[in-house]
Structure 1
Amino acid sequence: MLPQTEMLRDEVEGLDLRPDVDILDYLLEAQKAALRGLDDCLSALSDGATILTDTVRQGGKIYYAAAGSSGLMGLADGAELSGTFGLSPESMAICMAGGVPQGAAMPGHTEDDETAAQTAAANVQPVDAVIALSASGSTPYAVEFARHARAQGAKVIGIANNAEAPLFDYVDCAVHLNTPPEPIAGSTRLGAATAQKVALNMMSTLMGIRLGHVHDGMMINVIADNHKLRQRAEGIVGKIAGVSAEQASDALSRASGNVKQAILLAAGADSPNRAEALLAQSDGHLRPALKHL
């Protein structure tokens, strides 16, 4: 029997003969159906977020290991964690079969390279965590990376879109995204990849919240390295501390751009050192630090 990601849908007969809007409606409904594949994954995603949170707290590294579209989903998630949550870029690694594409070419044969996966996983340490992604759950690169990393003592989160995924044999946390067959059979850049992206978003965002980098839906550990983000940071400081835009801007300058410290300064901390000490006392969480003022 074909894996679910390779099956052909019954309703696709004559798809290429339909009007454009009908085709687009079909594709949209397929995307919505793919997202419903996350309904039963919340507990597993919570477990995965716990692994990631513990890894960051212990100074470990998060590895994304995948090929093709799954690799691009991992790249999209991992590359934005630094700007959103202030995590060090060095605390993450994107391990994609064949390397991260520099242009539009993305060869398919690299996903079968188990030796490359072993080489890429060679530096994984017991304190690290791996997110291995594969729509089929059998991609040799992802499976071998997971196997090698787990043998070295790392925690492994596996995300796959088929229930009987070989990948799940080598993980500590299995996330099965029960997505229906693709609107174009086997084209997992469509529904399966959509579900993977949302699952990664949810898991890494929960990690950021548990690390204390989110307060009332605001990113309080944002790296404000452009004009838009500087304005956002000033707005965050002003809203949480209840001060004017000018006072928020001054607090950010005094805190050298550290949003959490700036909030504490604007709320009454007498120095950046005092703000830093309050955060250290509360393990980086703003709410208890504010209570200690």
Structure 2
Amino acid sequence: MTRSGSDWRDVLSLRSPTEERNPRTAMIDQLPTREVVSLVLAEDRAVLTAVEAAAEQVGALAEAGVAAVRRGGRIHYVGSGTSGRLGVLDAVELRPTYDVGEETVLPHLAGGPSAMTRAVEGAEDDVDAGRAVTAEVAAGDLVVGLSASGRTPFVAGALAAARELGAVTALVSTNPAAPLAAGVDIAVLLDTGPEVVTGSTRMKAATAQKLVLNAFSTAVMVRLGKTYSNLMIEVLPTNDKLRARTVRMLVQATGAPPDRCAEVLEEARGRVRTALVALLAGCSADEAARAVEAHPPDADRSGDPAGVRAAVAALGVVAR
């Protein structure tokens, strides 16, 4: 196992706001419980401002994600500790929400899957392990490094190897002076400032990274045609709650009664997009299926990336 080649002295010299002491919380251990909670929440208010300041960079990252998937590539999240776990969380939640799995978004966590529930702190220092995860990376993929400090050796190894393979690289960090930023195509650097508890980057730094990932993956999915309006038309109805949500979504989109929506959804064999087109166009599920096939999702179709409006129009109706 190859370490980063640095030691604690190098890390000690790292410039990162998250490692500085927060003067506003220096007396936190002397406060009553409710005041501790109020102080934590007051600090959290600054997180959204920090993320909003990087909106242009997050937008560029989302455009790179759309481009990677459209050319047949994948999006990879690479990280350790809390940052890496957030990448896993974002990736796995895309399956039930948008019917997107590891064929499109693949997370790589330092220490492997077991590190999701058990801290494997030394894994973040393994450069070779980071390089090894790129065995699943191809030219044209997007590799997103997640690192609060912006220096994590595991992430550094992955990004370096990804560049060699011809992948697009990006970094999401809460260190405006992140050392790894200079070597990536897109750097999203968030200035969340010192943590409430010094160096505890599971707090503001993690919240900021979660907000970025939410905005990034949602924008990518919307642009890839996974929604109609603000409704999830690729949701997998794998339990009662999601089945009810699917019917409710069809009611919301079309104004048809719930029983009718459930009936058409069954006729469409559970394909929400087909059922939606059938209800909007007032046609059979088979006719809707043919229209959907003729108008697949297209990120370049202005105002209608999902193709639902185009499919309905082809059937002689104007969709809302």
For structure 1, the residue ranges without an aligned partner over 5 or more in a row are: none
Indicate the residue corresponding to 1:159 in structure 2. 172
Could you tell me how far 1:292 is from its partner in structure 2?
2.3
Distance 1:265 1:242 in 2: 13
Deviations 1:222-262 (A, max 9, x none): 11111111111111122223322122112211222221111
In the alignment, is the contact (CA less than 8 A) between 1:124 and 1:149 conserved in 2? yes
In the alignment, is the contact (CA less than 8 A) between 2:130 and 2:154 conserved in 1? yes
Q: Secondary structure at the match of 1:80?
A: helix
Could you tell me how far 1:87 is from its partner in structure 2?
1.5
Indicate the residue corresponding to 1:28 in structure 2. 41
Deviations 1:75-94 (A, max 9, x none): 11111111111213432221
Deviations 1:113-153 (A, max 9, x none): 01111111122101321121000000011122111112211
Q: Which stretch has the larger CA shift, 205-214 or 281-290?
A: 281-290
Indicate the residue corresponding to 2:142 in structure 1. 129
Q: What is the number of residues matched between the two proteins? A: 293
Among residues 198, 216, 233, which one is paired with 2:246 in the alignment?
233
In the alignment, is the contact (CA less than 8 A) between 2:291 and 2:314 conserved in 1? no
After superposition, the Cα gap between the structure-2 partners of 1:178 and 1:266, relative to the gap in structure 1 and judged at 3 Å, is same
Within a 5 Å distance, the mapping from 1:42-191 to structure 2 comes to 42-101=55-114, 104-191=117-204
Distance 1:83 1:100 in 2: 20
In the alignment, is the contact (CA less than 8 A) between 2:295 and 2:311 conserved in 1? yes
Q: Secondary structure at the match of 1:101?
A: helix
TM-score, scaled to structure 1: 0.94
Distance 1:153 1:67 in 2: 23
* 1:286 partner amino acid: V
In the alignment, is the contact (CA less than 8 A) between 1:129 and 1:157 conserved in 2? yes
* 1:121 partner amino acid: T
Could you tell me how far 1:95 is from its partner in structure 2?
0.5
* 1:7 partner amino acid: E
Higher RCO (CA < 8 A, seq sep 6+): 1
In the alignment, is the contact (CA less than 8 A) between 1:269 and 1:275 conserved in 2? no
Q: Secondary structure at the match of 1:181?
A: coil
Within a 5 Å distance, the mapping from 1:266-281 to structure 2 comes to 266-267=279-280, 268-272=282-286, 274-281=288-295
Distance 2:217 2:191 in 1: 20
In the alignment, is the contact (CA less than 8 A) between 1:279 and 1:286 conserved in 2? no
Indicate the residue corresponding to 1:224 in structure 2. 237
* 2:202 partner amino acid: R
Could you tell me how far 1:56 is from its partner in structure 2?
2.0
In the alignment, is the contact (CA less than 8 A) between 1:143 and 1:170 conserved in 2? no
Indicate the residue corresponding to 1:287 in structure 2. 309
In the alignment, is the contact (CA less than 8 A) between 1:211 and 1:285 conserved in 2? no
Distance 2:150 2:196 in 1: 19
Moved over 4 A (4+): none
Q: Secondary structure at the match of 2:181?
A: helix
**Identity of paired residues, percent?**
32
In the alignment, is the contact (CA less than 8 A) between 2:291 and 2:312 conserved in 1? no
For structure 2, the residue ranges without an aligned partner over 5 or more in a row are: 1-12, 298-305, 316-320
In the alignment, is the contact (CA less than 8 A) between 2:273 and 2:292 conserved in 1? no
In the alignment, is the contact (CA less than 8 A) between 2:143 and 2:170 conserved in 1? yes
